[in-house]
Amino acid sequence: MAAALLLFLSACSNTPTIIDGTNAETFAKTTEKARRDLPIKERLTFDAAIHNPGGRRYGNNDIDGLAREAYHGMTAHDVVADAKARGIE
């Protein structure tokens, strides 16, 4: 009984990964880790969102920089929710 309670509490303590967009290396690491927080069926939406950040403007060719800025501080679930709100599914 105590083992089951310990297992339940450890499962509840998993906090979602926060995406860090401060530089390209940390962005790549944290997005990969955050992606693992999602169910399999939402990972394609997450991938599409990362490659198509909101707020894209003509003349701004730095898609990676825009994605780092757009998703900094978000969780994978936040990214998926944003993508769905923008019609990406």
Q: What is the total count of domains within the chain? A: 1
Q: What is the DSSP letter of 19?
A: P
Q: What are the pLDDT tens digits along the chain (89 aa)?
A: 555 544 554 555 589 999 999 999 999 999 999 999 999 999 999 999 999 987 766 666 788 999 999 999 999 999 999 999 999 98
- Quick check: is 26 in a domain? no
Q: Which residue has the tokens 């929710």?
A: 81
- Quick check: is 31 in a domain? no
- Quick check: is 53 in a domain? yes
Query: Which domain covers residue 56, as residue numbers?
Result: 38-89
**pLDDT at residue 76 in the model:** 97
Q: Please, are residues 80 and 46 in contact by the beta-carbon 8 Å criterion?
A: yes
- Quick check: is 51 in a domain? yes
**pLDDT at residue 6 in the model:** 47
- Quick check: is 52 in a domain? yes
- Quick check: is 2 in a domain? no
